[in-house]
Structure 1
Amino acid sequence: MRPIQFHCLYVDLTNDISLELDVFPRNISFHFTNVSSLELAYGLIEQEYFEVIIFNGDNISEEEVKVISSIPRDTSIIVIANDYETIFDPHDLDNVILFTLKPINPEKLQNLLIRVLSKYVLPKVQHLNHFDFFPTGAEMTKISFNDIFYIEATGSSCNVFLLNQVILVKESITLLEERLPSKNFVRLHRSFIINAQKILRVSAKEIELNNAKKLPIGRSYRNKIGYISYLIDHLLV
């Protein structure tokens, strides 16, 4: 079986905790990037997709909160700090999976990382060829995930575009985004979700699907271009 490759960013602002990666299963390949400044971290986050990002700091500053808030929610975040006396509330950010206090040794940090991978990351990258039932009025309609090209919001409902059919689903695009497998589906605009398996071309401002449909990438969603490229390179081959 081809190894599953994960990408992790360790933002080590205090240089007081090392991380040893030596206990992962043989079918997992782990690429680890270590940076020591927020500026370097922000630059990498804009360009690349990371399944897990670890922030290690003394206290969580306003600048760090801004960086964390800008990270796509598909990423699982671990935050390590000295105390709770901080402007940062981990409950305000959906993708902050763990908030832990120091002291923490390398072994405990590694165990936390393994826990995050097992609970939040591995389920996303399993092969998905499934379906779900969606409300389409007074009935529920079965839709295969693989049949979906893209989804367009229409007020509180959505049009789900298949190859030769459009189905009106009585759910908001936010609810659909939560229900669909994140390995396949990416929100690239406040009005559009695309099936990454249907991508033909990607540019800085739009995506073309293999049914010739071109969709815009919203300005606030352009930090997901790295994630889309990652899916194409690592998961959709």
Structure 2
Amino acid sequence: MKKIRCLLVDDEPLAITLLQNHITRFDFLEVTATCPNALKAFETLKSKDVDLMFLDVRMPVIDGIEFLKMLRNPPRVIITTAYRDYAIDGYDLDIVDYLLKPITFERFFKAIERYLRYASQPAQPLVSSDAAPENIVLKSGYRNVKVNVADILYMESVKDYVKVYTLDATIVTKYKISDMESDLASKNFLRIHRSFIVNQQHITAFSASDVELGKKELPIGESYKEHVIRILKK
């Protein structure tokens, strides 16, 4: 097995030492670097290849969660912290696992198992090959959620995430809205704004400035207006 390159980010030397000791028990893990704060970690990520980052939360200057939000293409991440309150944040950021200090070897082992499952999963196309009804598969946290395309009302871009609003749920997925637009262009979806894509089947009314999906109104972006109105008038 190819060595998995690990970056350890923690301002506590004892925590770094414990992780190093756990890692040495696996032949396929290696420590690429250790960093006492997020700034050093950022420099390391620019200069070294990293497969898996163990990231503490409470650190000086920039905390781990904020640092992770700033990264455009982070490696796989396992959060390590003494505070349970950050579990939801970690989940939203699509981390591999959340380890509560002090980290036992048994719990560390399970986290590595989970990482290996993540790493072995092939990339899935957004649109599935199912017959009718047609579905898309959205990765949300640890789950892969299958959604009927016809049930999607609209999608909203929020920074590095897309919120997918369906008839009965809202799903948050780490996906670029431009990629979503490309993948669903042939499925009767229409980009009406830099932040919104709508399912044309659910549009109940429209004007030169907005579209309506029942009681929900969404703005039409100025640069999209001509194209949107032309499509909707067909």
Is TM > 0.5 for Structure 1 vs Structure 2?
A: no
Q: Answer with 1 or 2: which has the greater Rg.
A: 2
Structure ranking higher in helix proportion: 2
Higher relative contact order (CA 8 A, sep 6+): 1
**Coarse TM-score class (shorter-chain normalised):** 0.3 to 0.5
- State TM-score, norm by structure 1: 0.44
